[in-house]
Amino acid sequence: MSVTRINGAAKRLGDILVERELLSEDDLLRALEYQRQNGYKLGEALLKIGALTHEQLAEGLAAQKRLSVIPLNEVYPNPRAVSLLSEKFIRNRQVLPVDFEQDSLILAMVNPLDVVTIDDVRVIAGYPVLPVVATLPSFEEAVDYFFSGKGVLDTAEDGDLESGPGQAAEQRREAEDGSVVTLVNDILDGAIKRRASDIHFEPQEDHLAVRVRIDGVLHNLTEVPSALAGGLVSRIKIMGDLDIAERRLPQDGRAGYRNSDQTVDLRIATLPTVFGENVTLRILDESMFEINLTSLGMEEEELEVLRRALGRPYGQILITGPTGSGKSTTLYSALEELNRPEVKIYTVEDPVERKIPGVLQSQVRHKIGLTFARVLRSLVRSDPDIIMLGEIRDLETAMIATEASLTGHLLLSTLHTNDAPSAITRLVEMGVPPYLIASSLECVVAQRLARRLCPRCSKEVRLSTKDMSPGERDFLGDGEFLIREPVGCPRCFGTGYSGRLGLFEVLPVTPEVRKQILKGAGDEQIRRQARKAGMIPLREAGLRRVLAGGTSVAEVLRVTA
């Protein structure tokens, strides 16, 4: 975080405010009289009589001390910086460590004239202090936001942290260090509050970078010094019941984390790199799955096609798209609708992301040979009505799934393809005969997740052909359009987006499409036939969302390119 100093000679606060036309001479006199009678500081007196706003006072104080004003409600403090001071000290002194700049601690202060507190922070934290000015409301909001809902781990109990021999014992001691435990919990709380789906701990030459993925896009969260990086990684590995002494091989684990607001599951993956172990945490919050087919965001015609396929007693339904495109959410929404007492539903997943009452769920375990194909082969003999298969990855799994869908089972699964027609050619490339695909396939849904424009700050713009960039012209076409664009505000962390919405391409496998499959047609021929059957391509679905004000042109181009 870079701090900009404001040039200007030291003057009295009242003179600065009048000079900057933030305050009239009359109001200054009234405030001075109020100050004399009640014993307030001048800034407090000005606020009490309503002559000045908090923002104007901050601007005046910053100019007086040649400092900058920090919009605390637009930044998330570095957890490592905040951990240098106690919550009690922060609230009592009205200061908040924000980040580091070179060897100095950036300290947001409501009263930058408080030199005693500056000296105290320098001694306690052990860093030179670089003050910046914050308004009282933004300070209170930031502190409440940061310190609310501190969480605890469901795993890593004291018994799990017993020291072992050699290097592992030292790593465990580092992991038990109070500053490391606090730092890990602060990072988790910060990521959860920002609705992050993943946390990335990325080793660099001289520090550990921490980034979070919010609405599909990575953002910097903090940097951890090398001295703490080893303990932090060991702490996370202990959480996931991983081997902390093994640094040469990738490992996978899971843990639970709870705070006052919610409980989440964590999927932990480590990967060796030249500068140390990269650690990725996937945050699985069951509240994210509280969605049904109706609220997914499909057009009514598309939803009708999908529901018609789900109503079949047998057949295959495929959900396609890249990693992180919401395929699991769509599958779980479909299972919620299908889950009735009179049917038996099995799932085979890697991992089981959400437990559904009344549904039998199995998790594959590749280390012991429990693969998708092996579990699926056994499931077919267990008399299921509906099978949900997490992913079709190879020919063996694809063949068993296809045969199951032809023998009285409704099978739902996913494929990694760019669009719906490509799912058919992907199965053919795997080696599934076209006649089996044509006989079993009922519907293919391709999808993407686009970031939703922040409802608080997006702005309406009118675009005509002459104002468009080449990309916008190619997407929108010629004409004049009224659309919305991102701006950025504190509530959306300056991104201009808040939440995500789905873009869908639903391909109904009609008799005409089946004929194309049997003929061995390519993507384009199948796509043309599907368009005749009513399929809306992903890019066109995105255009409809843009014109409805839900997202931006740039965002649709990003996820559908």
Is 180 a residue whose pLDDT tops 60?
yes
Summarize pLDDT for 362-418 with one digit per residue, the tens. Answer: 888 877 878 888 888 888 888 899 999 989 989 999 999 999 999 889 999 999 999
Q: What is the pLDDT of residues 80-103, one digit of tens each?
A: 788 888 888 999 999 999 888 878
Closest C-alpha to 414, from 336, 335, 295, 331: 331
Does residue 316 register a pLDDT over 70?
Answer: yes
Percentage of the chain modeled with pLDDT above 90: 39
> What is the per-residue pLDDT across 234-270, written as a single tens digit (0 to 9) for each?
989 988 888 888 888 899 888 888 876 677 888 899 9
pLDDT per residue as tens digits for the range 97-119: 988 887 889 999 988 888 899 99
Separation of alpha carbons 60 and 45, rounded Å: 14
Lowest mean pLDDT segment, chosen from 28-42, 78-92, 432-446: 28-42
Specify the pTM: 0.69
Helix (H) or strand (E) holding 502: strand 497-508
**Confidence (pLDDT) at 100:** 86
pLDDT in tens, 254-263: 888 887 667 7
pLDDT of residue 155: 47
Question: How remote is the C-alpha of 256 from its chain's centroid?
Answer: 18
Give the model's pLDDT for residue 165: 45
Burial of 48 (0-12, 13-18, 19+ CB in 10 A): middle
Spatial contact of 90 and 77, defined as CB atoms under 8 Å apart: no
Residue with the two structure tokens 């407090």: 44
Q: What is the mean pLDDT of the chain?
A: 84
Sheet (strand 152-153) strand order:
152-153, 251-258, 263-273, 276-284, 196-203, 207-214, 217-225
Instruction: Flag whether pLDDT at 5 surpasses 50.
Output: no
Confidence of residue 354 (pLDDT cuts 50, 70, 90): confident
Element (H, E) at 424: helix 420-430
Give the 3-state secondary structure of residue 334: helix
More confident residue, 429 or 61: 429
pLDDT, average across residues 12-23: 70
CB 235 within 8 A of CB 241: no
**The residue type at 410:** L
HEC readout, 234-295: HHHHHHCCCCCCCCCCCEEEEEEEECCCCEEEEEEEEEEECCEEEEEEEEECHHHHCCCCHH
Whether 534 has a pLDDT exceeding 60, the answer reads: yes
Mean pLDDT of 305-328: 93
